[in-house]
Structure 1
Amino acid sequence: MSTPPVLANSTGTCKQYEPHCIGHTQKALFYTGMAMLAVGIAGHLVSVQPFLDEQEDRVNNNTPIRDCLKLPGFTLVVIIPIVGAIALPYIKPWSLRFGIPAICTVVATLLFFTGWRTYDKVEPQGSPLTNVCRVFVAVAFKRSQPFPLDSKQLYKKDGEDLQSFSRTRFLRCLEKAAVISPDEKLEDQVNNRWRLCSVAEVEDAKIALRMIPMWLTFIVCGIVSSIGNTYFVEQANHMNRKLGKWNVPLPILLLLFAWVKSLFASFASCFLKKSKKYAPPTGIAIAMIFSILCCITAARIEIRRLRVIRKHGLLDKPDEKIPMSVFWLLFQFFLLAGLDSFFEKSIAAFYNHQSPESMRKYLGFFTKGVFGLGFMCSVLSVYVVGKISEKGGKTNWFQFTLNKSRLDRYYWVLAGLSSVNLLVFVLVASSYRYKNREAVDEDVVDTGGAGVPSDGNNEAECCSCFG
């Protein structure tokens, strides 16, 4: 609805894709659509996989029929995005570019609702974040209580063994949340969930808080990862994409990036199977090294691109194709694929091995949240770096066109920031108190954070990564 031809039918405004044809109404609809798209994608990421898992657990007479439908359904899921990625760039009118996905989404929504009556519907189980909040509320109510000296003063639920919890001295004040008040009946305290927490819930809150310093170091990786979807793509869009006589569509390069990313993910999975305790932080450090190399490589290639622009007098011709092969960008794209793969797999394994048991099903969302926060911080970093670069009357590194911008200097800044972040991460990771889960017979390296049982044969599993 934000495109000029669509609104022109009812408003009588011009139908051309020109600046004077785009008014406040079109802009309001466009940005509203962008916001709704972000909400929709967020709901999709959070809901689809758990929903499929719930339906997969269902056992009835229709199971053989559903199994027969899996292969064609999976084929459509793979083929449609590939066909769309190749075909949509050749469709010029934006009304059709936006309209075709909109129609497909409507059809998909109607198909989804056709099975509404037959879906398994599971009741909500509550959020583990609520339990963490309960601990802080209970501590606030009991702030005048003395620290518990005897474990018998602490409340535990049936099946909880006090000996299984370390009762770490870190944030020991939170243990007040589990202190049983002698002035009230235990039953009344248990019924008031915001006044009394179990020892297990207190320890879960401690672990969650202990992970925050390390979690903050992940944001820089998200900042570096964001440039792959922004500046890398914009660079590629104005470079020579000829491969023989074929003008390679930009989505093909992104699909190639996705394929290399899956290859790196296989290596990362095999690496993380070697050790459950120290492999995840090591993998995160490897991802940060990839981020440094990616930024350095991107800076060097951008310097070469700017030289070609100056040589051919294209500084004031932003729409002209730059006579430099787009395949020069593959180096930085592949390094970025290594960053994304090792980071996603390693951070998922780290969360799985070190986070509270109650939070494990939410681990994949934490990973996506880190990347999302990094994407938002990348906008802030561009603004800050731009303001600093223009001090003293100098030219801002970020101009209206890439040809006049100095992305190479911004990439060097990100390389330096990534290097400092790596040092900070090493310090935080070396002082982190790791949970010893070597005895647990499970291994999770999937980015979704779902538990995958392990048979203990690491070598066989490693080989299966490439099979």
Structure 2
Amino acid sequence: MEDHNDTGAGVESPLLNNLVNGVVDYKGRPVLRSKSGCWRSAYFIIGVEVAERFAYYGVSSNLITYLTGPLGQSTATAAENVNVWSGTASLLPLVGAFIADAFLGRYLTVIIASLLYILALAMLALSTLIPSDCVNAIDDSPCSPKIQVVIFFISLYLVAFAQGGHKPCVQAFGADQFDSDNSEELKSKSSFFNWWYFGLCAGPTVGIFVLSYIQDNLSWGLGFGIPCVIMGFALIVFLFGTTTYRFHEKIEEINAFARISRVFVTAAHNRTITISVEEEASGRMHHQDSQEFRFLNKALFSPSGSNEEGPVCSIDEVVEAKAVLRLIPIWVSCLGYGIVFAQTSTFFTKQGATMDRSIGSTFEIPPATLQSFIGLSVIILIPIYDTILVPLTRAITNFPSGITMLQRIGTGIFISTISMIVAAIVETKRLNIAREYGLSDDPNAMVPMKIWWLLPQYLLTGAGDVFTMVGMQEFFYDQMPSDLKSIGLALYLSVLGIGSFLSSFTISIVEKMTGGNGRDGWISDNMNQGHIDYFYYLLAGISAGAFVMFIYVAKAYVYNGLRRGM
């Protein structure tokens, strides 16, 4: 490369001024601002994420219908399987983020995850073509074709593992394309996140509309195969953008997981030593940091309690560990929302399957189609939130974003509680109509009640997402230490993962306590004999309890660099 020196005192070379600090291209060379990154790269990255969400929701949204249909599982078993799979899929981004940050890097992780995605979706489609003697069995002895079931579930969990590597890395890699030190690119970076979330909603909306119809009316193999093709095309598009991408130069330092783990391990090892308050705080860290989670301060000292040879862990490492630990109460109080969120792809869909889904004289919409209204409500409400609600609340609170991140999350949790109450009321009405028409004993009967009665609970779920989902994403990203931002993006997803596991556990408990001995419990294969409405009221109570807990811990939370409480 030619040597471009200044032509005079105080005059910078135009080429040097055009270089982006701290990043290189795919060959490790310095990159020019005018020929790399920003929107020219972001379009490729947003495109691959839209395709991934299209594929993921094309599988997940109608999964319970496939399990209770071709695979012949009971409603309760299918709901538990969907919840466990969804929970696993939501937790695996933590693993994917770790692998990317510690070993492979985001770019390579996205490529490997995409290839695994394509393989998993292809296997999923092929599993539906395996001959089976099963019928759509909701009877006393549902069949389970072993080979088909084994291949199907292996493929399904490969999908979960692939998206675990894909999801946390693509968004972070997209944000990497914008230089925060450049005022123009900083504005574009904010716009990038808006279009990113738009894509997260647009992909599932189209996927649910199109693929649920194909799966219910044409072919499950085709319904799972189309996402495979879409992911393959998206990977090609992503690779086309390689020459434009910016790659952050790798700094040799201890991995963030290792640093934080070392603080906890050292503090535990030194648990028996006694340190005075003066030794803890004197010249070592801010008073507030020294008094919070004081047991971690022992990581600053040697096992003898002496610091003559210097601390075992640095002050920054201890403060970093405390910042992560401070997020745990907020994370726990959000789990009630995660439990409610899990119902949209299970019992909401099963409700719709029993109702009148006809439009006109010939067309019948698949029950999973209504899940797309969650994405539609988000697409509609986010502009309203930004252009109307934020200015109004800002005038009252004088806070730049109108309301704080925790206030936004809490509002969504409250809305999710209301959505469960509405869902319970609608289900009670559906059961009453089924009894009125003498359909209670027929599990395959169509209840003469339009599926559009379910629309309010879906729209309320979308409204809750605008507040809680976006709020959690912003909160866990913003409040994590600087080099743990990608982990923050994975952490908010883990709320949904644990919520799905807790939902599965709740279903299992309810099934055992309300059923058995030949009687139908709240959750029955015959939806007209069960009482999903009681289950919804239970979830509303759990959500209300979580909301009260959230208010308590949020008031005590201290933002990084901001004011105390909500």
Equivalent in 140, 143, 151 of residue 268 of structure 2: 140
Match of 2:146 in 1: 24
Please report how far the alpha carbon of residue 214 of structure 1 lies from its aligned counterpart in structure 2 after TM superposition: 2.6
Question: Is 2:473 aligned against 1:348?
Answer: yes
Measure, in 1, the Cα distance between the counterparts of 2:417 and 2:200. 35
Question: Is 2:359 aligned against 1:235?
Answer: no
Please report how far the alpha carbon of residue 325 of structure 1 lies from its aligned counterpart in structure 2 after TM superposition: 1.0
Equivalent in 185, 194, 209 of residue 325 of structure 2: 209
Please report how far the alpha carbon of residue 291 of structure 1 lies from its aligned counterpart in structure 2 after TM superposition: 1.9
What is the CA RMSD across the aligned residues, in angstroms? Answer: 3.9
Equivalent in 176, 200, 210 of residue 298 of structure 2: 176
Please report how far the alpha carbon of residue 17 of structure 1 lies from its aligned counterpart in structure 2 after TM superposition: 6.6
Whether the 8 Å CA contact 2:289–2:319 is kept in 1: the answer is yes
Equivalent in 227, 232, 244 of residue 101 of structure 1: 227
Q: Provide, for residues 130-178 of structure 1, a one-character-per-residue CA deviation record: whole Å limited to 9, x for no partner.
A: 322111122234345432555699897xxxxx45x63342321211212
Q: Which deviates the most, 324-333 or 268-277? A: 268-277
Match of 1:225 in 2: 341
Q: Secondary structure at the match of 1:288?
A: helix
Residue pairs, 1:106-121, within 5 angstroms? 106-113=232-239, 119-121=245-247
Q: Secondary structure at the match of 1:324?
A: strand
Match of 1:387 in 2: 512
- Which runs of no fewer than 5 residues in structure 2 stay unpaired? 1-122, 181-191
Whether the 8 Å CA contact 2:434–2:440 is kept in 1: the answer is yes
Q: Secondary structure at the match of 1:398?
A: coil
Q: Secondary structure at the match of 2:288?
A: coil
In the superposition, relative to structure 1, how do residues 403 and 145 fare at CA in structure 2: closer, same or farther (>3 Å)? same
Question: Is 2:382 aligned against 1:260?
Answer: no
Q: Which deviates the most, 205-214 or 326-335? A: 205-214
Q: Which has the higher contact order (CA 8 A, sep 6+)?
A: 2
* Matched residue type, 2:298: K
Match of 2:118 in 1: none
Measure, in 2, the Cα distance between the counterparts of 1:5 and 1:354. 43
* Matched residue type, 2:497: G
Q: Provide, for residues 114-140 of structure 1, a one-character-per-residue CA deviation record: whole Å limited to 9, x for no partner.
A: 566775444666653332211112223
Q: Provide, for residues 420-447 of structure 1, a one-character-per-residue CA deviation record: whole Å limited to 9, x for no partner.
A: 22222223233444555259xxxxxxxx
Match of 2:534 in 1: 409
Q: Secondary structure at the match of 1:405?
A: coil
Whether the 8 Å CA contact 2:301–2:307 is kept in 1: the answer is no
Measure, in 2, the Cα distance between the counterparts of 1:81 and 1:338. 16
* Matched residue type, 2:470: K
Match of 1:128 in 2: 256
Whether the 8 Å CA contact 1:309–1:403 is kept in 2: the answer is yes
TM-score by length of 1: 0.74
Whether the 8 Å CA contact 2:124–2:156 is kept in 1: the answer is no
Measure, in 1, the Cα distance between the counterparts of 2:164 and 2:521. 34
Q: Secondary structure at the match of 1:146?
A: coil
Q: Secondary structure at the match of 2:448?
A: strand
Residue pairs, 1:50-199, within 5 angstroms? 50-55=172-177, 84-88=207-211, 89-90=213-214, 92-113=218-239, 119-122=245-248, 127-147=255-275, 149-150=277-278, 162-163=285-286, 166-179=288-301, 185-186=309-310, 196-199=312-315
Q: Secondary structure at the match of 1:197?
A: coil
Q: Secondary structure at the match of 2:526?
A: coil
Q: Provide, for residues 302-323 of structure 1, a one-character-per-residue CA deviation record: whole Å limited to 9, x for no partner.
A: 0000111122232333333321
Whether the 8 Å CA contact 2:408–2:467 is kept in 1: the answer is yes
Q: Which deviates the most, 393-402 or 130-139? A: 393-402
Please report how far the alpha carbon of residue 399 of structure 1 lies from its aligned counterpart in structure 2 after TM superposition: 1.2
Q: Secondary structure at the match of 1:50?
A: helix
Whether the 8 Å CA contact 2:440–2:528 is kept in 1: the answer is yes
Q: Secondary structure at the match of 1:167?
A: helix
* Matched residue type, 1:92: L
Whether the 8 Å CA contact 1:5–1:15 is kept in 2: the answer is no
Match of 1:33 in 2: 155
In the superposition, relative to structure 1, how do residues 223 and 18 fare at CA in structure 2: closer, same or farther (>3 Å)? closer
In the superposition, relative to structure 1, how do residues 423 and 104 fare at CA in structure 2: closer, same or farther (>3 Å)? closer
Say how many residue pairs are matched: 409
Q: Secondary structure at the match of 2:291?
A: coil
In the superposition, relative to structure 1, how do residues 199 and 84 fare at CA in structure 2: closer, same or farther (>3 Å)? closer
Q: Secondary structure at the match of 2:289?
A: coil
Please report how far the alpha carbon of residue 29 of structure 1 lies from its aligned counterpart in structure 2 after TM superposition: 0.5
Whether the 8 Å CA contact 1:148–1:154 is kept in 2: the answer is no
Equivalent in 474, 485, 493 of residue 368 of structure 1: 493
In the superposition, relative to structure 1, how do residues 310 and 113 fare at CA in structure 2: closer, same or farther (>3 Å)? same
Match of 1:45 in 2: 167
Match of 2:445 in 1: 320
Q: Which deviates the most, 337-346 or 47-56? A: 47-56
TM-score by length of 2: 0.62
Residue pairs, 1:418-437, within 5 angstroms? 418-437=543-562
Whether the 8 Å CA contact 1:228–1:333 is kept in 2: the answer is yes
Amino-acid identity (%)? 26
Q: Secondary structure at the match of 1:317?
A: coil
Measure, in 1, the Cα distance between the counterparts of 2:454 and 2:340. 15
* Matched residue type, 1:226: A
- Which runs of no fewer than 5 residues in structure 1 stay unpaired? 59-69, 157-161, 190-195, 440-467
Q: Which deviates the most, 374-383 or 91-100? A: 91-100
In the superposition, relative to structure 1, how do residues 249 and 436 fare at CA in structure 2: closer, same or farther (>3 Å)? same
Q: Secondary structure at the match of 1:166?
A: helix
